Structure 1
């Protein structure tokens, strides 16, 4: 797997996580120069 292919895969997954996130955060975990994990923390606001 090429690094450009890996970047495209991570970018697509990141877009999926962000598209419906109203409040919260996304954390990118990197090990040895490669993204190994994406974490999504979503907060639900009750008005």
Structure 2
């Protein structure tokens, strides 16, 4: 597995973990030179 593929696999695992703990919000991927360099999670808390 090359470095780029390993980067994508790790990003997918991190995204799965983030999705499992979120109810509302967004996940943003920051890409530089065809490589994911940052993942941002913005979570909203809904007050009823």
**TM over 0.5: same fold?**
yes
Where does the alignment leave 5 or more consecutive residues of structure 2 unmatched? Answer: none
Rounded to whole Å, the distance in 2 between the matches of 1:4 and 1:32 is: 14
Aligned length: 47
Map 1:1-47 → 2, pairs under 5 A: 2-47=3-48
Structure 1: runs of 5+ lacking an equivalent: none
Structure 1 length-normalised TM = 0.88
Name the TM-score, length of structure 2 as normaliser: 0.87
